[in-house]
Structure 1
Amino acid sequence: MISVKNVLVVLAVAFTAYLAARGLSWTSPVPYPLVVVTTLALYLATTWLCIFWEPAALRAARAAAGRAPRPDADRTDAVADGIRGPVPLPVPAQILALACAIIVPSAIALSVGAASRTEPFATWYLGGIGALMTIVMVRRRPWTAWAGIVALSVASMAWMGPLTALGLGLVGSIVWVAVAQMLVRSMDRAARDTSRLTRLQRAATAWQTSQVVRQRERRVQVQKALAVAGPVLTRTVANAGALTDDDRLEARIAEGRLRDEMRGPRLLDDDVRAELERARRRGANVTVLDEGGLDDVDEDTLSVIRAQLAETLRSASSDRLYIRTSPDERVAVTVVGRSPSVGAPSDEDAVDLWREIAHPGRV
């Protein structure tokens, strides 16, 4: 697959190979040709190692990420966090690159002789080491890159003189490394900005989604309220507020049903609703409250809890019933029933029902 990274890698390999080939185009005899060839081989091996070497753990992680099916959001995170950018150069490659920057200039200068030190086949290392340090900079090792440029500058000026070294390519090498550092910083800044914008976009999307869900929930609640209270309100309006005892009972039951739907929807199913209505019709005051204790419970478990709640309500005879979810890890729902004590004041009720419905599987 053709990508920007593959194109840049091919260009880097071709350019460094071209610079090294210049070192073999001798226009005059050199005293130590074997040293020249060995130096060129060291340079190419080091340069290509710096281009291609990635830590084994990182390669395995990338391969696993490429095989695993990931949603678009995860891929967006990977790009935004800069995972696909250049990875830091391993320490052994840094050491080898710095050693190459120190050894190659002096080795070439000594092997070609004093008369040929300013010839094109002898000055190739000015661009070659500059290209190597540019690669090191792109691989996120700025201190090593600038140390290599300093070593190149000192050696080339010592062998050729400052003005000659600057005129033959040293300035270009320094500019390459500086531009590479600016590009890497710009790329990192762009990656951070992209990550920040992506997170802001996700937050905005999540907020918008939550608003849509809330609007849908409000519509559902309004529809339920109209379905429950609509007939009672219609009779109230038709009779100009003059309600019979049966109408008042239906109104109280409708009010209790609406409160149940708003305060404890996860506790309700058809059986529980029927038992709550039966308790209210016999005159009981029923309070249902879900305080979040069942938020993480699946539907199968809820069905078991609701069945036990319906059975408890079916046998209850208390005048007041309090049904609440429990924060306890073992207890799902607590049902408390109170009725007036015989011979006690009317506002002092005794507890005549206490039932704790446990979470299935946590007992």
Structure 2
Amino acid sequence: MISVKNVLIVLAVAFTAYLAARGLSWTAPVPQPLIVVTTLALYLATTWLCIFWEPASVRAVAHPAVPHHEAPAGHPDDAAQAPVDGIRGPLPLPVIAQLLALACAVIVPSAVSIAVGAASRTAPFATWYLGGIGALMTIVMVRRRPWTAWSGIVALTVASMIWMGPVTALALGLVGSIVWVACAQLLVLSMDRAARDTSRLTRLQRAATGWQTAQVVRQRERRVQVQRALAVAGPVLTRTVAHAGVLTDADRLEARIAEGRLRDEMRGPRLLDDEVRAELERARRRGANVTVLDEGGLEGVDDETLGVIRAQLAEALRSASSDRLYIRTSPDERIAVTVVGRSTSVGAPSDEDAVDLWREIPHPGRG
């Protein structure tokens, strides 16, 4: 499969191979050709290792690393992918590859300069390492090891200036290598910033979508509540207006029942179904004072479980004869609803009552 990553890998391999091949195009006798070939082999092996090496343990770790940070050996960031806010990027170069890259930056310039002899140190086949080590350090920079990359450039600068002289080294390619590494660092910084911005915009878009959805749901719930309130209170209000506020006892009872229904719908809608509403109305019609409160504890309960809880609540209300009924949800993980009934005790003062009903409805399937 053709991708940007694969294209860049092919270009990196081809370019580094070309730079190494320049070291074999000798135009003059080489006093120690074995050293030249050995350094070329070391360079290519290290460079391609830096390009391709992505240990399985590194790819498997999802812990985000901090880009452009030199983590010590054994630090969790060494095994991280270095994504930016969840967006994948180049993986950090393993420590062993970093050490090999630094070793190349230190060994190759001096080894090549010694092997070709003093007379050929500025020949094209002897100065290939200026671009070669620069390309290697550019790869190291892209693999998120900036301190290693700049340390390699410093080693290359010192060695090349010692063997060629400062002016000659700068003229033959040292400046280009420094520019490559600097541009690579700026490019990685820009990519990471773009990744952060993209991720931030994605999160904002998701948050906005979630907020909009929540508003739509709330508006729908408000419409349902308004329609239900009109259905409950509409007939009572119509009769009140028609009779100019002069109500019979039956009308007052219907008004109190309508008020109780509205309170139930606002305070404990998750506890209500048709059967529970009917039992609540029956209790109010016989003169009981009923309070329904949803104080939490039913969040995340599925409809089937709610149906079982409501059926038990309706059964408890059906057998209740208390003067006051208090129905509350429970935050306890085992108890779903508590039903308490209180009635005035015979012979007791009028302002004192006793508990004559206590029913705890457990969560189905919980201990």
- Normalised to the residue count of structure 1, the TM-score between the two structures is 0.91
Which runs of 5 or more structure 2 residues have no equivalent in the other structure? 63-81
What 5-or-longer segments of structure 1 have no aligned partner? 63-77
What does residue range 159-308 of structure 1 map to in structure 2 within 5 Å? 159-308=163-312
Question: Between Structure 1 and Structure 2, how many residues are aligned?
Answer: 348
Identify the residue that residue 112 of structure 1 maps to in structure 2: 116
Aligned amino acid, residue 14 of structure 1: A
Indicate the residue corresponding to 1:74 in structure 2. Answer: none
Q: Which amino acid in the other structure matches residue 234 of structure 2? A: G
Percent of aligned positions with the same letter in both sequences?
A: 87
2:349 corresponds in structure 1 to: 345
Matches within 5 A, 1:6-17: 6-17=6-17
**Structure 1 counterpart SS, 2:292:** strand
Which AA in structure 2 matches 1:4? V
Give the structure 1 partner of residue 29 of structure 2.
Answer: 29
Post-superposition offset of 1:150? 1.1
More helix by share: 1
1:94-173 → structure 2 map (5 Å cutoff): 94-173=98-177
What whole-Å deviation, never above 9, does each CA across 1:247-306 have from its counterpart, x for those lacking one?
Answer: 222221111111111111111112111111111111111110001121132222222211
> SS in structure 2 opposite 1:357?
strand
How far apart are the structure 2 equivalents of 1:294 and 1:201? 30
Residue 240 of structure 1 aligns to a residue in which SS? coil
Instruction: Verify the 8 A CA contact 1:228 1:257 in the aligned structure 2.
Output: yes
- Tell me how far apart the structure 2 counterparts of residues 178 and 157 of structure 1 sit (CA, whole Å): 20
Letter in 1 for 2:197: D
AA of the residue aligned to 1:246: A
Distance in 2 separating the partners of 1:255 and 1:114: 105
Alpha-carbon spacing, 1:274–1:221, altered in 2? closer, same or farther (3 Å): same
Q: 2:328 aligns with which of 321, 324, 327?
A: 324
- Runs of 4 or more consecutive aligned structure 1 residues displaced over 4 Å after TM superposition: none
Task: Give the whole-Å Cα distance in 1 for the aligned partners of 2:120 and 2:16.
Answer: 22
- The equivalent residue for 1:52 is 52
1:149 CA drift (Å): 0.7
**Structure-2-length-normalised TM-score:** 0.90
Query: The residue matched to 2:247 in structure 1 has which SS?
Result: coil
**Counterpart in the other structure of 2:43:** 43
Question: Which one is further off, 47-56 or 346-355?
Answer: 346-355
For residues 50-86 of structure 1, the C-alpha deviation after alignment (integer angstroms, 9 at most, x for no partner) is 0111121233469xxxxxxxxxxxxxxx986254211
* 1:324 match: secondary structure: strand
* Deviation per residue, 1:298-330 (Å, 9 max, x gap): 222222211111111111001111101112222
Superposition RMSD on alpha carbons, in Å?
A: 1.8
